[in-house]
Amino acid sequence: MEERARLLALRDIDDIHRAVDYLNLTTQWVQSKATDEQLDAVTNDLLLAMHDLRSTLVRKKADRVLKD
């Protein structure tokens, strides 16, 4: 069970690294390829998701800093 849990934890981190890569690809797409219509279709969802992620990351970082 411990080995399985370790493997799943490694996969989680790998998924996050892929998400970071995908965010970078999304940035490139927005800068170079996206049409106004495409941007209208995704902008609000992306902004909300990024806001939620940023808020959570900042809060968790602050908690770790204050704990130390």
Whether the predicted model's global pTM rises above the 0.85 cut: no
Q: What pLDDT is attached to residue 28?
A: 98
First to last CA, the chain: 31
Q: What pLDDT is attached to residue 68?
A: 85
What value does the mean pLDDT of the chain take?
97
Report the Cα 8 to chain-centroid distance in Å: 19
- State the average pLDDT over residues 13-42: 98
